[in-house]
Structure 1
Amino acid sequence: MRKSWHSLSEYQALRAMMEGNTTASAARRLGLSQSAVSRSLTNLEARIGTTLFERESGRLVPTSAAVRLNSRLDALFQALDSIDGPAETPRENLRLIAPPTFANQFIVGHIASFIKTHPEAFISLEIAISPEVVAGVQADNYDLGIVGVEPTRAGAKLIPFRKATAAVVMSPDHPLAAQAVIRPMDLDGENLIGFNYRHARRAQLDKLLLEVRAYPKVVAEVSSSTAAIDLVRLGVGLAVVNPFPSVQTSAEGVVFRPFASAISYQTYFVAPDHRPLSQTARHFLRHVRLHTPKDAFSEAV
């Protein structure tokens, strides 16, 4: 049986399609017509006998076979790039988006350490509330996001990162700071910094306190753990929060104590579901996992 010839134009069409996500984008990258790109992809599928793209909701989505083949082509394109001699190392762009709780100190710290070990990388970071993080990734405006709430999955792929149990944060001289664990009934009569009612854990905490007949005085409402901890630090009251990543980044001037309850939190990386993660995004995700320290309130998943 005669072995078919490799076709560079077909491989270039596949690479451009994987990077651009649409035939129009791939055509612009290659300086070809969309029909020429489609023809190259069809010829490649026929030659190797494997479906590389499937149409879903009007768009072409790469199959696992396309992802594997594209990965194997890395060596080919690297060799082609080196033919004319040493060239300037291309910058590897990574577009990140995160809410303030994660962006401040936690993500920026990982960005700093990542760039030191990956000098070819260029990273942009946008700070937004969690719904906008998910919407931005779904719209393919960002390569990777991180959130501390579970969003809807349509258009976004959730990659579990950490799970945590609730903690009470207070000033070090607060009477409850002497306790190893804070019980719901311990909050009775205390000045409490609560979360607003659109926050997923507000109703859960209110129900728990009502069950044990604990009636704290809600003196302020906020929408993020960062704001709650800042108010605790300023002596306004105490708060029940998701301790990750704040216990690692914002513990100065406050103490965290475990809260005896079933309240828990899940942290996810958010990625587009219509294309594989870029190599830089995969490396950054692995970097964050490896360099996130252990703490008493959360664990890796």
Structure 2
Amino acid sequence: MFQTLLRTLSVTETAQELASSQPTISRELKALEAQLGFALFERKSRRLEPTSRALALNIVVQRSFLSLAEIERAALAIRGERLHRLTIACLPAFAHALIPEVIRALRQKRPDTTFKVHSLEEGALTRDILAKFFDLALVEGNISGTAGVTTTMRCGDLVCIMPPDHALAQHDRLRPTDFGEYDVIYYSDEDTYRRRVDLWFQGAGVTPRLAIETTTASSMAAMVGAGLGVAIVNPMTALASDGTQVVVRPMAQPIAYAVNLWRPDATGRNRLGDEIAEVTTEAITTIARRLAARGLTERMS
């Protein structure tokens, strides 16, 4: 019940999934909180929000679920089943620009593997990493409050994308002052790199013409392709979007961009999980080299 509540954040939906009733779930939740001696959820706008203590408890609970999952996988292996499944959590930008290459490379090695990709905004994604179990998670910000190991990988610098016929396309490298008279499609306030871009402009005394704010890099690229403005995006999205509708230019003062790869523990729960981490690292390294070869980032070793 606790795990289902963490996932649905709804007493009604939890009752439906568990073939129970809303009063029963509410009663059992109160009994559990009384037994524990602390609140697990707060009600906000008719939805539940887990408390910090609930998230801390969930780290321990996950270990029990993990043990059960390992027993199930072992039973399948003993029975001779060829069933492998990987669950990946990532930002929409990575689902678009990185994960397809990762899955393609891994399926060449293990064609019987199936995948489940959870693509969410950073805030919701971090909450899900705390509340669920994934074989791998890719985020921009740091993940705290959960067991596991995070590896930070630099994959280039933020770059500017624009329509091919845009005036800024004539520049080899873009300075903050170059943006003064043009519409800019911007990260939303909660984005990890929004503050760094703001500081980049502020340092030059420039206030960009904010035309559109959006939450995903892929939507920024689509809007640029539609001729709605220019955007400063992560290098993976830029490479995936580069073509007839969008061109890419580097920044005169680089803003380094990195990806945080999260694993449940130091060694991985199985060899398959280790392999996807290796393939992901290789894919990010390849992207960094492509960017450096095109002069879109500082050359990296």
> Shared topology, TM-score over 0.5?
yes
Q: Is the 8 A contact 2:267 2:274 kept in 1?
A: no
Q: How far 1:167 moved relative to its partner?
A: 0.9
**C-alpha distance in structure 1 between counterparts of 2:215 and 2:68, whole Å:** 42
What RMSD over aligned residues (CA atoms) do the two structures have, in Å?
Answer: 3.2
Q: How far 1:235 moved relative to its partner?
A: 0.4
1:1-301 alignment, distance < 5 Å: 21-22=63-64, 25=67, 29=71, 88-152=80-144, 154-243=146-235, 245-252=236-243, 253-273=245-265, 276-292=268-284, 293=286, 294-296=289-291, 297=296
**C-alpha distance in structure 2 between counterparts of 1:209 and 1:122, whole Å:** 44
Larger Rg: 1
Change beyond 3 A, Cα 1:163–1:27: closer
Secondary structure of 1:213's partner? coil
Change beyond 3 A, Cα 1:141–1:173: same
Secondary structure of 1:200's partner? coil
Q: How far 1:183 moved relative to its partner?
A: 0.7
**C-alpha distance in structure 2 between counterparts of 1:27 and 1:166, whole Å:** 40
Amino acid at match of 1:107: I
TM-score by length of 1: 0.66
Amino acid at match of 2:261: F
**C-alpha distance in structure 2 between counterparts of 1:288 and 1:181, whole Å:** 29
Q: Is the 8 A contact 1:168 1:258 kept in 2?
A: yes
**C-alpha distance in structure 1 between counterparts of 2:183 and 2:129, whole Å:** 38
Q: How far 1:207 moved relative to its partner?
A: 3.1
Q: Is the 8 A contact 2:162 2:224 kept in 1?
A: yes
Amino acid at match of 1:249: A
Number of residues of Structure 1 aligned to a counterpart in Structure 2: 229
- Mean alpha-carbon deviation: is it higher for 249-258 or for 289-298? 289-298
Per-residue displacement from partner, 1:202-259 (whole Å, max 9, x unpaired)? 233233323323232111111121111111111011111222x113322232111111
Secondary structure of 1:123's partner? strand
Identity %: 20
- Structure 2: gaps (5+ residues): 1-61
Amino acid at match of 2:64: T
Amino acid at match of 2:216: S
- Mean alpha-carbon deviation: is it higher for 127-136 or for 231-240? 127-136
Q: Is the 8 A contact 2:164 2:246 kept in 1?
A: yes
